[in-house]
Amino acid sequence: MSSSLESETPISYDINLPYVSLDTDADQSTQYFEYMPNFDEIHFEPLKPFDFQDPALRVKDKSLPNFVTSGVKLTPIQPRIGTVVEGVQLSNLSNQAKDELAYLIAERKVVAFPNQDLIDAGPAAQQEFMEYFGKLNYQPVSGTVRGHPAFHIIHRDGNKEDIARFMEARLTSCLWHQDVSYEIQPPGYVMLGLLNGPEVGGDTVFASTGEAYRRLSPALRTFLDSCSALHTSSKMIAHAKALGGRSRKDPVDTIHPLVRVHPVTGERCLFINGEFMTKIVGLKEAETRMLMDFLLNHMVMGHDFQARVRWAPKTIVMFDNRSLIRANRGVGFELATRFLAKGYSVYATYRPETRNDRSVQQLKDTGVKTFELDYLDRESIKLAAEEFGDIPLDVLVNCAALCHTWDDKPFTEQSDEDLLSHFKVNTVGPFMACKAFLPVLQKAQEGKIINMSSDMASVTDNSTAGNICYRLSKTAVNQLTKTVAVDLAKMGSKVIALAIHPGYLPTKMNDYYGENDMTECISGITETIKLFGTAEGINIPNGGYVDWNGKILAL
């Protein structure tokens, strides 16, 4: 999380004046003329989920031998956050050194590089450099570089009247935020560069959201782990349009967990934004405001987990905006959007009682074909299967899951009604779906049935007991998968079946708490499904029980 501090001419990404292109009328002899803000009419579709492999995860040697070479000096800004790197030119880094730089940023959160020739290399070279670290993001209302709309240009011409108007309703120009948190996948790595600036002031302060989380009491951390919040770009876009600006994107609303697990370091981090976050799901408005104010103030006051970067011309700063943990509606939602991003035609079902849920609308907005299906109704499943007609179905994923409570109560305290309801959703539903969708699976070159299981399905690894209703229903899913696979093989069918433990994930069923990273597990499941039944996936057995990475689990 970062904040731009007040100088003689306060800087804020939120001012964005005057919303007119300056790169056509300005004197072309002006230094860095090509960076004068441009507001050409360009429209981008909403960001869709996409695959991302963090380059930091490729690093094996944590001494960073390709990046920290002879003559390179690393100076901490604060013990817990921030590093100044001297003796490195970003423009000359090898791919291995870039991977190690990503790891350093993940560990130190913000890394500053003085005197960089990349500043003078031009927008194309800068864009090419950042594309190595992930997908480019296009902001909806800010000035950009002509031909390079992924740039966000902050330009001030000393017009103090405009600044004074902006400050009329504010006590400070500081805006604590995490960049574009409203996106379904906000950026992970961000680069800032200073072309020209004031001799003093305009510093940027960064706060460690991981350290801020660790400072909280265990009881409060447990509560925050269960919370999700709504982030929206509507306010910003409306503000820009009211001042005569335009938007390159339609407004976006996204629900993110309030606490995210960092995919590289594994630490839990607060994910809050004073500008874009409007509601904590399940809390009243006054409760949301009180909790947001507390957390933001906690961040502002935590000077011992902050790093202040003082700008000088040709300085480049890269920081970790960590965004790979996103709105988690469940494994089904995540898999549907992931396969869509890979170019597959995706058909997704939703329960009739959830037809008005935000997640269903978001699923429809991605382009996924959706239709209602009641897993407890044989006729509903039959009609859903008939929707396909002559269209072959390559993969059927049965994700339905029910767990009324997570507890360690013995079986003597569990009701037979609970057991029956768990079996109806978790076992009988997939059983009926396998039968109903078999004809369209048979039409594919090699249809696949994927049943979502659980580590609790393992009889061998059951050392803690508890949750007997859920355990029994998921163990039955493993037996269903094995029996279906053997039966189909006897019938001469090419359709194969696999049970997958998706991981302990932060989904609604778990109150958004989980020990595993959603992005990592969904990527693993996607790859496992892709390899299953191929020569490369020969170790994944038909009728088997595996984890999200295709590792065989004990039955």
The last residue of one of the domains, among 273, 294, 320, is: 320
**361: in domain:** yes
Assess whether pLDDT exceeds 50 at residue 352. Answer: yes
Q: What is the pLDDT of residues 382-434, one digit of tens each?
A: 777 777 777 788 888 887 766 655 556 788 877 888 888 888 888 888 898 88
The last residue of one of the domains, among 293, 320, 347, is: 320
Q: At what angle do helices 378-386 and 429-442 cross, to 10 degrees?
A: 20
**554: in domain:** no
Assess whether pLDDT exceeds 90 at residue 1. Answer: no
Domain with residue 181: its CATH number is 3.60.130.10
Residue 325 — very low, low, confident or very high, per pLDDT cuts 50/70/90?
very low
Assess whether pLDDT exceeds 60 at residue 186. Answer: yes
**410: in domain:** yes
Mean pLDDT of 130-136: 92
Mean residue pLDDT of the chain comes to 81
What's the farthest any 2 CA atoms get from each other in the chain? 83
Residues 336 and 278 in one domain: no
b/e 149-188 (16+ beta carbons within 10 angstroms → b): bbbbbbbbeeeeebbeebbeeeeebbbbbbbbbbbbbbbb
CB 450 within 8 A of CB 393: no
Residue ranges in 491-552 assigned as alpha helix (H): 518-531
Residues 402 and 307 in one domain: no
SS3 letters for 278-290? Answer: EEECCCCHHHHHH
Which among 223, 298, 286 has a CA at the least distance from the CA of 259? 223
Residues 304 and 426 in one domain: no
Mean pLDDT of 2-24: 47
**326: in domain:** no
Assess whether pLDDT exceeds 80 at residue 484. Answer: yes
Residues 141 and 205 in one domain: yes
Assess whether pLDDT exceeds 60 at residue 551. Answer: yes
- Provide the 10 A C-beta neighbour count for residue 389: 7
* Residue 390: predicted pLDDT: 73
Q: How far is CA 452 from the centre of its chain?
A: 22
The bridge status of strand 448-452 relative to strand 395-398 is parallel
Residues 195 and 264 in one domain: yes
Least confident of 23-27, 59-63, 221-225, 264-268: 23-27
* Residue 365: predicted pLDDT: 62
Q: What is the pLDDT of residues 267-306, one digit of tens each?
A: 889 998 888 899 998 889 999 999 999 998 898 888 888 9
- The 8-class DSSP code of residue 413 comes to G
Least confident of 158-167, 177-186, 209-218, 237-246: 158-167
**407: in domain:** yes
Give the percent of the chain with pLDDT over 70: 79
| Residue labelled with tokens 């597959």 | 344
- In total, how many domains does the chain have? 2
First to last CA, the chain: 45
Mean pLDDT of 546-554: 89
Assess whether pLDDT exceeds 60 at residue 323. Answer: no
**325: in domain:** no
Residues 112 and 220 in one domain: yes
SS3 letters for 163-207? Answer: HHHHHCCCCCCCCCECCCCCCCCCCCEEEEECCCCCCCCCCEEEE
Q: Which domain holds residue 132?
A: 2-320
Return the higher-pLDDT residue of 441 and 520.
441
Domain with residue 503: its CATH number is 3.40.50.720
**Which helix (H) or strand (E) covers residue 293, if one does?**
helix 285-301
Residues 259 and 346 in one domain: no
* Residue 317: predicted pLDDT: 95
Residues 345 and 220 in one domain: no
Q: Is 196 left (phi over 0), alpha (psi -120 to 50) or beta?
A: beta
* Residue 10: predicted pLDDT: 30
Residues 280 and 414 in one domain: no
Give the Cα separation of 131 and 324 in Å (integer): 16
Q: What is the pLDDT of residues 429-474, one digit of tens each?
A: 889 888 888 988 888 888 899 998 888 888 887 777 777 888 899 9
Residues 382 and 458 in one domain: yes
Residue 24 — very low, low, confident or very high, per pLDDT cuts 50/70/90?
low
Residues 305 and 346 in one domain: no
Residues 204 and 234 in one domain: yes
| Residue labelled with tokens 């995706």 | 346
Return the higher-pLDDT residue of 280 and 8.
280
Mean pLDDT of 153-166: 71
The last residue of one of the domains, among 277, 297, 320, is: 320
